[in-house]
Amino acid sequence: MIGVIAKPEQLDAVEEFFQLFKTPWEHYRPGETYSVVIATSADVSGVNARLLLLYGPDAKSLDSQMGLTMGERIQSSCLRYQGMSIPIYGEARAFADTSRGDAVMMAGLEAAGVKVTRTDETVIRLGYDLFEEVRLLLAGSQPIEQAHIPTLDAHISMLRNWILEEQISLVEIPPIPAGYRFLACLTHDIDFIGIRQHKFDHTMLGFLYRSTVGALRNLLRGRITVQHLLETWGALASLPFVYMGWAKDFWDPFEWYLNAEENLPATYFLIPFKRLAGEHVAGSHASRRATAYDVTDLRDRVASLLKQGCELGVHGIDAWHSADRGRAEIQRIRELTARTGTGIRMHWLLQDSGTVAALEEAGFAYDSTAGYNETVGYRNGTTQVFRPLGARTLLELPMHIQDGALFFHNRLDLSESQAQERCQPLIDNANHYGGVLTLLWHDRSHGPERFWGDFYLNLLQQLKSLNVWFGSAADVVGWFRKRREIRFERVESPDGVRARVCDNAGEVQPALRVRVYSPGQVAGDKTYANFVDIAWDGMASDKPEQQMSGQFTAAVANPVLSQRS
């Protein structure tokens, strides 16, 4: 059991951190004995723990006893831990004298984290505030230059490592479904349903330019092939026949995606009101946010999409700043789908400090706006679905990889090989940390004149080869919501303190993993943790209990994985 001593204003951040790092914890109770105590407050006198993790740039009561003095404020925005770069967004300080301890984190040539071993306990003193970092990540946005780093997941990983290095047993429910490596979510923002709706407007004129001058430029830059150029010119030549209804509309997105994603559930975010740009939209081209279609133009499509296992969500216009507008937008979708639990992603990814409250008041089950238009990566530093600070029920499905961010000339403007190099670390991180990898491919990205469909197909094929669980946005959020409802309970017994997993969630599919770490083995300067994973769907009559000595006392299923990590 982990005891936590945090500042009063950090309680929300603490609660959410331990939803992401799903392990037994409680607010520290004086007089209790803990294997691990995490503290950000100044006074930790009287704490009884095998391992004390003491965070903060301010002086602590134990510093002088350990011979530590705070140094200058760290100017670098990143610390180093075992070869990893860890961005720090709040205040951080190095230590002026570390002669009585061993450095565990570095800021350049200075120690930003020090491990001091005492007679009956180990103290790891960090020069930054963990829960302040959690708050800043969940409430804000990582800068673009740090977008590729899953910073919050790295904080969890470091904490886990420090616990296991002290030969302390640990039980955890990781964000990894039993039998799979991680989750994947395929999403599509539908801004256009065809070029037939656009006659002599900026959209059509833009296509004429991109399919002529733009296509030749892209050929010379190696962004398209000669075959693609000919296909683009063929689409251009067919335009009059498309308008007359004699030729297929080459911007129609649905047939292509249904074929590409056969037997894979996907989520389509649909515009609720046509010809409405929305309010408070900044920029000289704000009027272009209005679309030529809305969900009422898709009545014939809705039934077939739902029959294929797809989910329909709201591509919001004004919900980001108005709960009343949000209610109107959600009702527009529900009139066609007759389903509850509707999610949203804002058109143009608009949001501000009041968006979470507005979306929750409007009745949305989840939001998936947390991503970048300019790059790919982790806006809030995590692969996991999380609850934004200030929300009660609304969950956030982070969006990680967007087609336009990869390929638009005014964004990253990458070739396909460069885009693969940019996406591969995100796939590797999902494979390492678990969680979900969320893709966004827009409506007409597969066709002329973009031709980003082949890259998308290759991404899908790669994910399929990695034993990934594919779910719609609602499915993925629902799985994380079930995981969040699992509770750990402190149980006193003659053999010591146990942490019992208490199920309030009902059946969970795919099943959760209950991961039990036992004391690791030391080889050289590294500790290898032994763990066993047990699949648990929440419905077993015997609830799993973790004896803190490392013995799993009530099995619920056969182990699905047993290895060193």
Q: Is residue 48 predicted with pLDDT exceeding 90?
A: no
Task: Answer with the residue of higher pLDDT: 96 or 431.
Answer: 431
The most confident of the ranges 163-172, 295-304, 383-392, 506-515 is 383-392
Q: What angle do helix axes 130-139 and 11-20 make, rounded to 10 degrees?
A: 80
- Cα separation, 435 vs 483, in Å, equals 12
> What is the per-residue pLDDT for 562?
30
Averaged pLDDT, 517-541: 71
The verdict on 322 and 454 lying in the same domain is yes
Tell me the HSE value of 21 on the side-chain side, using a 13 A CA sphere: 24
Predicted TM-score (pTM) of the model is: 0.92
The verdict on 360 and 418 lying in the same domain is yes
Q: Is residue 346 predicted with pLDDT exceeding 50?
A: yes
Q: Is residue 176 part of a domain?
A: no
Edge-to-edge order in the sheet of strand 487-493: 487-493, 496-502, 545-547
> What is the per-residue pLDDT for 495?
59
Averaged pLDDT, 359-365: 97
- Cα separation, 538 vs 544, in Å, equals 10
Q: With bands split at pLDDT 50, 70 and 90, how would you rate the model's confidence at 353?
A: very high
- Cα separation, 141 vs 382, in Å, equals 11
> What is the per-residue pLDDT for 547?
35
Structure tokens at 17: 């951190």
The verdict on 513 and 389 lying in the same domain is no
Q: Is residue 544 predicted with pLDDT exceeding 80?
A: no
- According to DSSP, the residues that pair with 346 across neighbouring strands are 316
Q: What angle do helix axes 11-20 and 151-165 make, rounded to 10 degrees?
A: 80
Q: Is residue 499 predicted with pLDDT exceeding 90?
A: no
Q: With bands split at pLDDT 50, 70 and 90, how would you rate the model's confidence at 549?
A: very low
> What is the per-residue pLDDT for 213?
92
The verdict on 466 and 501 lying in the same domain is no
Q: Is residue 39 part of a domain?
A: yes
Produce one character per residue of 198-216: b if its CB has 16 or more CB atoms within 10 Å, e if not.
Answer: beeeebeeebeebbeebbe
- Cα separation, 514 vs 58, in Å, equals 37
Q: Is residue 460 predicted with pLDDT exceeding 90?
A: yes
The verdict on 327 and 235 lying in the same domain is no
Q: Is residue 24 predicted with pLDDT exceeding 60?
A: yes
> What is the per-residue pLDDT for 120?
84
**Number of compact structural domains in the chain:** 4
Q: Is residue 335 predicted with pLDDT exceeding 70?
A: yes
> What is the per-residue pLDDT for 526?
56
The verdict on 211 and 300 lying in the same domain is no
CB 557 within 8 A of CB 530: no
CATH classification at residue 91 = 3.40.50
Averaged pLDDT, 26-39: 93
Q: Is residue 313 part of a domain?
A: yes
Averaged pLDDT, 385-412: 96
Q: What is the 3-state secondary structure (H, E, C) of 82-142?
A: CCEEEECCCCEEEECCCCCCEEEEEECCEEEEEEEECCCCEEEEECECHHHHHHHHHHCCC
> What is the per-residue pLDDT for 564?
29
The verdict on 260 and 122 lying in the same domain is no
CATH classification at residue 338 = 3.20.20.370
> What is the per-residue pLDDT for 529?
64
Largest CA distance in the chain: 85
Q: Is residue 35 part of a domain?
A: yes
The verdict on 138 and 240 lying in the same domain is no
The verdict on 407 and 502 lying in the same domain is no
Mean pLDDT of the chain: 89
CB 478 within 8 A of CB 461: no
**What is the gyration radius of the CA atoms in the chain, in angstroms?**
26
Averaged pLDDT, 278-284: 91
CB 180 within 8 A of CB 467: yes
Percent of the chain with pLDDT over 70: 91
> What is the per-residue pLDDT for 504?
63
The DSSP bridge pattern shows strands 487-493 and 496-502 to be: antiparallel
The verdict on 207 and 257 lying in the same domain is no
Q: CA dist 332 to 2, 271, 313, 463, Å?
A: 46, 9, 10, 34
The verdict on 439 and 291 lying in the same domain is yes
Q: Is residue 92 predicted with pLDDT exceeding 50?
A: yes
The DSSP bridge pattern shows strands 512-523 and 526-536 to be: antiparallel
Q: With bands split at pLDDT 50, 70 and 90, how would you rate the model's confidence at 45?
A: confident
The verdict on 149 and 227 lying in the same domain is no
Q: Is residue 173 part of a domain?
A: no
- Cα separation, 194 vs 252, in Å, equals 5
Q: Is residue 277 part of a domain?
A: yes
| pLDDT 10s digits, 52-83 | 999 999 989 888 888 888 888 887 779 999 99
Residue 331 belongs to what domain range? 183-194+252-479
Averaged pLDDT, 189-194: 95
Averaged pLDDT, 547-556: 31
Q: Is residue 261 predicted with pLDDT exceeding 70?
A: yes
Q: Is residue 132 predicted with pLDDT exceeding 80?
A: yes
Q: Is residue 546 predicted with pLDDT exceeding 50?
A: no
The DSSP bridge pattern shows strands 496-502 and 436-440 to be: unpaired
- Lowest-pLDDT range, 76-80, 158-162, 427-431, 519-523? 519-523
Q: Is residue 103 part of a domain?
A: yes
Q: Is residue 177 part of a domain?
A: no
> What is the per-residue pLDDT for 355?
97
Percent of the chain with pLDDT over 90: 73
Q: Is residue 209 predicted with pLDDT exceeding 60?
A: yes
> What is the per-residue pLDDT for 561?
30
Cβ-based neighbour number of residue 521 at 10 Å: 12
